[in-house]
């Protein structure tokens, strides 16, 4: 467990970090230059975590289990255990238990947290798009992005705070002018709050002019409703909670709903499928080290997730029946169990046992070729 846990946590953190960074960069490209809008990125990334966990936890578990097995084999500890009559099943039973626990946690994530996160993500992203272009102003220019409200700013600092702000609010035919030394926009619901500091509020004209000096004053600006439409769970199958989705599958016979229901059930089972493949794809010639086994493992991950994606698309379009998704996953599980049993019997197929060796030899040949070309170039 100690051999497995370290690489699992490190691998999970690394892959999650890469995925979150990629998503963050994509979101930043869709936002304005306002710091307030960028602050919503953290919330958006948290809402994508259920989906990312469903992808990364099985990968991290499998590659870490491979690393554990190869480490035990390279140090001949596994040979000594086998010579003492210890089976692979007994040797790695703690990792089987971890796989079952992860499957249970991922199942809850897939059925409950995934649709909740998707719904929250969509609504928050719509809010960000609603704010896009409305809370970013060009310095020393009058902006009428809010219809009956005109805003002028001298400039904006790195913290997203505007300086030298003038706001002319003539909603309802009555002109109210605000001037302040600084101001900051605060998103909230369907309104955009402008919090002004150290300014004056002027209302009316001529003899009816009334002024109010303030240290802090907030003006609520309604966002156009056409740019922000709240989504609900029944808008799409990927947003539906389990009970609603199951009712749609039973009552409507919708192929898209059936594909989504089975996808949520099948995604967590990937950790069980990969658990049985870990042993067979890690038993290799000792001189090939970890690289060959890891490359074969990554190839399996790519194949498994592409098969799942293909069957899900075909089922959602009504081309394949829903049971085909289970047939694909069941076939992969049967193959993994078969290879594990053959490994227990020391009767692994030669193609599997030599796969990592082939990758090792190809790697050595490529590196040797590159080193020779590099040597000639120098």
Q: Are residues 150 and 258 in the same domain?
A: no
Q: What pLDDT is stored for residue 61 in this prediction? A: 96
Q: Are residues 105 and 247 in the same domain?
A: yes
Task: Assess contact for 174 and 203: CB atoms under 8 A.
Answer: yes
| Span of 98-102, 185-189, 229-233 with lowest mean pLDDT | 185-189
Report which of residues 232 and 28 the model is more confident about: 232
Q: How many CB atoms lie within 10 A of CB 234?
A: 12
Provide the domain limits for residue 119.
2-129+232-377
Q: Are residues 243 and 106 in the same domain?
A: yes
Q: Are residues 268 and 350 in the same domain?
A: yes
Helices (H), ranges, the chain: 2-30, 35-74, 77-83, 88-91, 93-108, 114-131, 242-252, 255-266, 270-280, 289-316, 323-344, 350-353, 355-377
Q: Are residues 148 and 196 in the same domain?
A: yes
Task: Assess contact for 284 and 309: CB atoms under 8 A.
Answer: no
Q: Is the pLDDT of residue 131 over 60?
A: no
Q: What pLDDT is stored for residue 258 in this prediction? A: 92
Q: Which of 172, 194, 222 is the last residue of a domain?
A: 222
The answer to whether position 292 is within a domain reads yes
Q: What pLDDT is stored for residue 191 in this prediction? A: 67
Q: Are residues 203 and 284 in the same domain?
A: no
- pLDDT grade, residue 144 (50/70/90)? low
Q: Are residues 260 and 337 in the same domain?
A: yes
The answer to whether position 332 is within a domain reads yes
Q: Give tens-digit pLDDT for 55-64.
A: 999 999 999 9
What is the rounded average pLDDT of the residues 359-377?
Answer: 68
Q: Give tens-digit pLDDT for 218-248.
A: 888 766 544 456 778 888 888 899 999 999 9
Q: Which residues contact 269 (CB under 8 A, 6 or more apart)?
A: 103, 329, 333
Count of domains in the chain? 2
Which of left, alpha, beta for 164 (phi over 0: left; psi -120 to 50: alpha)?
left
Tell me the DSSP string of 233-267. Answer: GGG-GGG--HHHHHHHHHHH--HHHHHHHHHHHHG
pTM summary value:
0.69
Q: Are residues 82 and 201 in the same domain?
A: no
């Amino acid at each position: 467990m100690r051999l497995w846990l370290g690489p699992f946590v490190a691998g999970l953190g690394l892959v999650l970090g890469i995925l979150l960074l990629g998503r963050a960069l994509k979101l930043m490209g869709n936002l304005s230059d306002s710091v307030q809008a960028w602050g919503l990125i953290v919330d958006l990334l948290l809402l994508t975590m259920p989906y990312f966990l469903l992808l990364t936890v099985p990968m991290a578990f499998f590659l870490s289990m491979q690393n554990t097995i190869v480490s035990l084999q390279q140090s001949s500890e596994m040979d000594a255990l086998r010579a003492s009559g210890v089976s692979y099943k007994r040797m790695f039973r703690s990792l089987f238990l971890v796989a079952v626990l992860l499957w249970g946690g991922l199942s809850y994530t897939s059925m409950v947290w995934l649709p909740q996160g998707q719904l929250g993500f969509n609504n928050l992203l719509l809010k960000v798009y609603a704010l896009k272009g409305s809370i970013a102003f060009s310095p020393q220019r009058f902006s009428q992005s809010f219809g009956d409200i005109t805003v002028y700013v001298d400039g904006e600092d790195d913290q997203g705070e505007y300086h030298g702000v003038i706001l002319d609010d003539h909603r309802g035919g009555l002109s109210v002018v605000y001037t302040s030394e600084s101001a900051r926009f605060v998103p909230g619901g369907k309104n955009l709050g402008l919090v002004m500091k150290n300014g004056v509020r002027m209302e009316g004209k001529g003899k009816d002019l009334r002024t109010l000096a303030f240290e802090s004053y907030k003006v609520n600006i309604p966002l156009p409703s056409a740019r922000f439409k709240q989504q609900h769970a029944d808008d799409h199958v990927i947003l539906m909670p389990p009970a609603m989705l199951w009712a749609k599958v039973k009552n409507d016979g919708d192929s898209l709903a059936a594909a989504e229901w089975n996808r949520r059930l099948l995604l967590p089972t990937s950790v069980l499928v990969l658990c049985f493949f870990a042993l067979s794809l890690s038993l290799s010639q000792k001189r090939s080290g970890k690289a060959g086994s890891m490359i074969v493992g990554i190839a399996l991950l790519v194949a498994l997730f592409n098969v799942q994606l293909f069957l899900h698309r075909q089922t959602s379009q009504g081309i394949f029946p829903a049971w085909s998704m289970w047939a694909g996953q069941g076939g992969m599980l049967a193959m993994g169990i078969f290879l594990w049993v053959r490994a227990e019997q020391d009767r692994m197929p030669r193609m599997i046992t030599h796969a990592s060796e082939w990758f090792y030899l190809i790697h050595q040949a490529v590196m040797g070729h590159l080193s020779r070309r590099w040597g000639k170039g120098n």
